[in-house]
Amino acid sequence: MLAKLYMNMCHAFPKFRKATRKQMYQFMARYYQKRDWSFMNFGYAPEDAAEAPLLQSDDEINRYCIQLYHHVVSAVDLRGLKVLEVGSGRGGGADYIKRYLGPAWMIGVDFSDRAVSLCRQYYHVEGLSFVPGDAEHLPFDDESFDAVVNVESSHCYGSMTAFLAQVRRVLKPGGHFLFADFRPRERIDELDEQLAHAALQPIRQKNITANVIKALDADHERRIAHIRRGAPKLLIKLIQEFAGIKGAEIYKRFQSGAVVYKSFVLQKV
């Protein structure tokens, strides 16, 4: 009941959503600092096994979360490019992109300075860095990046319009916006309109809700065991809801179609 009420409040009041999500991420970065929690997305299971990336053995444990990143960013060849991830969280996505997809520079920006501090402790990869910053006021010069990545983060923002304006500002001409997130079903048309008004040309868009549910189903036992093994008792219920385990409010909304998850590839022209 509390989870449902909180989600409804977040949808209705953007400033409340942004402020409370920041405090949530700060809290989790402070009290759950284990190195083995490096992703915070719901994951993706492809229809075709050939779409699944080859992973090193150490990365297999995070396969479904990695596959969401791979689905979003593999549409563009990032080799030798300068790439920004907005909403880098605990850094696993930015680390995967840098190590597997070969950009020259990979920068992760997140509004939780504690999460940024954790990433700086955990990752020591040449060409990979993390900085604090607000998605609606990105701390970078105009036309600084060849690609901007945003995975399962924008639903936390106070203003999607302000964020998209920042994406367009920091992208070089011809640069790509690689994006995935969920919205309540009644707000999907609004999201499509916001993207259209951002003057970013759509190249690909896909409803991946079924792929996300399939990933959550396949990854359920691992997520439960991981949370029970490592989370402070005070945080277990919160993190289980946050992780989208079976029975969580967000999981039920995906199943019912009340919430839709989409991915996009767009280009600045």
pLDDT tens digit sequence for 165-220: 999 999 999 999 999 999 999 999 999 999 999 999 999 999 999 999 999 999 99
Give the pLDDT confidence score for residue 226 in this predicted structure: 82
Mean pLDDT in residue range 15-32:
59
Other Cβ atoms less than 10 A from the Cβ of 9: the count is: 12
Give the pLDDT confidence score for residue 262 in this predicted structure: 98
Task: Name the average pLDDT for the chain.
Answer: 90
Q: How many residues does the chain have?
A: 269
Dist CA 227 CA 240 (whole Å) = 7
Residue 35 confidence class, pLDDT cut points 50, 70, 90: low
Dist CA 13 CA 236 (whole Å) = 26
pLDDT higher than threshold 70 for residue 15: no
Dist CA 94 CA 119 (whole Å) = 10
Dist CA 143 CA 175 (whole Å) = 9
Q: How many CA atoms lie within 13 A of 233 on its CB side?
A: 0
Task: Convert the pLDDT of each residue in 136-150 to its tens digit.
Answer: 999 999 999 999 999
Dist CA 234 CA 105 (whole Å) = 38
Give the pLDDT confidence score for residue 31 in this predicted structure: 54
Q: Which two tokens stand for residue 84?
A: 């920004």
Q: Which two tokens stand for residue 108?
A: 């992760």
pLDDT higher than threshold 60 for residue 33: no
Task: Convert the pLDDT of each residue in 47-101 to its tens digit.
Answer: 998 899 999 999 999 999 999 999 999 999 999 999 999 999 999 999 999 999 9
Q: Rounded to two decimals, what is the model's pTM?
A: 0.89
Give the pLDDT confidence score for residue 1 in this predicted structure: 53
Percent of the chain surpassing pLDDT 90: 76
Residue 30 confidence class, pLDDT cut points 50, 70, 90: low
Q: Identify the CA nearest to 75 among candidates 211, 202, 261.
A: 202
pLDDT higher than threshold 60 for residue 4: no
Domains along the chain?
Answer: 2-268 (3.40.50.150)
Angle, to 10 degrees, between the axis of helix 14-31 and the axis of helix 236-243? 120
Dist CA 42 CA 93 (whole Å) = 13
Block residue for tokens 């860095």: 129
Partners of residue 205 on adjacent β-strands: 264
Give the pLDDT confidence score for residue 55 in this predicted structure: 98
Give the pLDDT confidence score for residue 32 in this predicted structure: 57
